[in-house]
Amino acid sequence: MSTASTKIALPIVDFFALGPEIALASGACLLLIARAIMVRSVEMRARKVVSLVLSYSASLVALGLALADLVRVRSQGPSLTAGSLIANDAYSASFKLVFAAMAVLAIAMGYSGLSRDGRVREEFGALVLLACAGMMAMVSAVDLIVVFLALELFSISFYVLAGFLRDSPAPQEAALKYFLLGSFASAFLLYGIALAYGGTGSLNLGVISSVSSRGSFSWLLLAGTALLLSGLAFKVGAVPFHMWVPDVYQGAPSYTSGFLAAGAKAAGFGAAMRIFAALVPSRDLWLPLVVGVGVVTMIVGAAAAIGQQNVKRMLGYSSIVHAGYLFLGVASPVEGGAQATLFYIVTYAAMIFGAFAIVAIFQRERTDAGDLVDFRGMGRKRPLLGVGLTILLLGLAGIPPTAGFIAKLYLFRAAVQAGLVWFALAGATASVVAAFFYIRLVIVLYQPEEKSANVVDTALPAVHLDAIAPGALSAAIFATVAVTLILGVFPQPALGFAEAARLIGGG
């Protein structure tokens, strides 16, 4: 009796396409190994230098590889790799470029700010690098299991970053809430994946799209789509899954809150665009779900933010409003929604990174409470930082000539082209309401200062930014303000970059 030998066909892997993820993951592993080796034999200052060098090197290598891959994809066309589990198209390559830039900003702001407070540790860089690697994999995945694994990689890193200050009760409470609610989100997403498989017999988005286009969209797949939407809505902080957002952003270290806000939205909506682009043939069935979540998110976020006295909680609720805007792109994935979403995420990331960094500097100087009254007069006392925060807040409000205005206009246009005029009008209305709490903070910055017991006299010069923030932090803040202004005045190059970010099976 003879037995036939069966050869296992190994998947073809384009390692160049996966280069950014490999660079970030390798850098994180090297950081952890270096820390284990140096922890007993090297002094703290030298360990921090090594950690910084490894963190910056990995993120900059990933940035270069993402740029090179984007050039290659635009010249050679899109492809699938790793056994058709990962898409290498202009859409994923563009997002990888954005995530690599986020890594550089997060490392610059986090290391500089936390070092200034004497609370940085070497594993901070590893967590940032692993989170960005997970986000890259998530927006590139065309298999739902890969989406889930990538989501868990960056989510676990975010849980630890939220509670990074282990000796403070507020970060620990924030991390626990984030972890518990995030676990529910993961369960929803995984159950949705199971139902999608039950309705189509596959986890591949290409197969799911094919089944959907044949009119075979079963109620089982519709239930799976609803649960997938629920799981992603948790991650991006959409209503009614938004309860964790203000608590986490308030409790997390201020220098990392911007990374948590921008990264979760970029990864969540980046993956949502690819998933819902595959489901476009059955759009009439899931569109009411997306529009309903988007409208309620904008309304609840704006209404809750108005009554906030704590600045970080206000920014947390404002991030919920921005999640509502981004559902405009999800609702119109093949009418330019994917490209508009990419451009919006680029501008939002720059603005929220810079806003949280300046708030952290002001908060450290006055009081840990971070209430509106504690920011009174800070625009006069720290003119450069005051002007920077003003520009970033106006950008978040969508007021010209900032990039926030162009991003919202581009997103609303995509929704109108998809026939979602009322959805776009709801977004415009929410934007007008949201402008109130941004402008209120701007006014507070330039009101006459009131002396109180909370004020800490640091005796720092009022005109030199570097006297308040280390060089890397200063450069990062300047970069975010510059992006907000430049993309508002000269948006065409960035809009052209976004227009070219086509996804496989998408617009």
For residue 323, the model assigns a pLDDT of: 93
Q: Which residues of 154-184 are buried (b: 16+ CB within 10 A; e: fewer)?
A: bbbbbbbbbbbbeeeeebbbbbbbbbebbee
pLDDT of residue 466: 39
Q: Cβ distance 260 to 252 under 8 Å?
A: yes
Reference 91, options 272, 270, 334; nearest CA is 270
DSSP 82: T
CA–CA separation, 342 and 329 (whole Å): 9
- For residue 355, what pLDDT is reported? 92
Per-residue confidence (pLDDT) for residue 218, from 0 to 100: 75
**What does the pLDDT read at residue 461?**
37
Instruction: Look up tokens 């907000």; give the residue.
Output: 484
Q: Report pLDDT for 467.
A: 40
Partner residues linked to 81 by β-bridges: 86
Q: Are strands 79-81 and 86-88 parallel, antiparallel or unpaired?
A: antiparallel
pTM, two decimal places: 0.90
- Tokens, residue 62: 């990933």
Q: Give the residue among 448, 465, 319 at the shortest CA–CA distance from 382.
A: 465
- Measured CA to CA, the distance from residue 318 to residue 404 in angstroms comes to 13
Check residue 257 and give its pLDDT.
Answer: 87
pLDDT at 406: 92
pLDDT (tens, 9 = 90+) of the chain, 507 residues, equals 445 556 777 777 788 889 999 999 999 999 888 888 876 666 667 777 888 889 999 999 999 999 999 999 888 888 888 888 898 888 999 999 999 999 999 998 888 777 766 666 778 889 999 999 999 999 999 999 999 999 999 999 999 998 888 777 878 888 888 888 888 888 999 999 999 898 888 888 888 888 877 765 678 888 888 999 999 999 898 988 888 888 888 888 888 888 999 999 999 999 999 998 888 877 888 889 999 999 999 999 999 988 888 888 899 999 999 999 999 988 887 767 888 899 999 999 999 999 998 988 887 765 555 778 888 888 888 888 889 999 999 999 989 889 999 999 999 998 898 888 999 999 999 999 988 989 999 998 888 766 554 444 443 333 334 344 467 888 889 999 999 999 988 888 888 888 877 776 544
Measured CA to CA in angstroms, residue 388 lies from 238, 239, 309, 381 at distances of 28, 30, 21, 13
CA-derived radius of gyration, the chain: 22
**226 Cβ partners below 8 Å, 6+ apart?**
192, 286, 289
Extended strands (E) in 250-392: none
pLDDT for the residue 140: 92
Dist. CA 143–CA 128, nearest whole Å: 24
Residue 8: exposed, middle, or buried by beta-carbon count in 10 A (0-12, 13-18, 19+)? exposed
Answer whether 220's CB lies under 8 Å from 286's CB: no
pLDDT of residue 132: 95
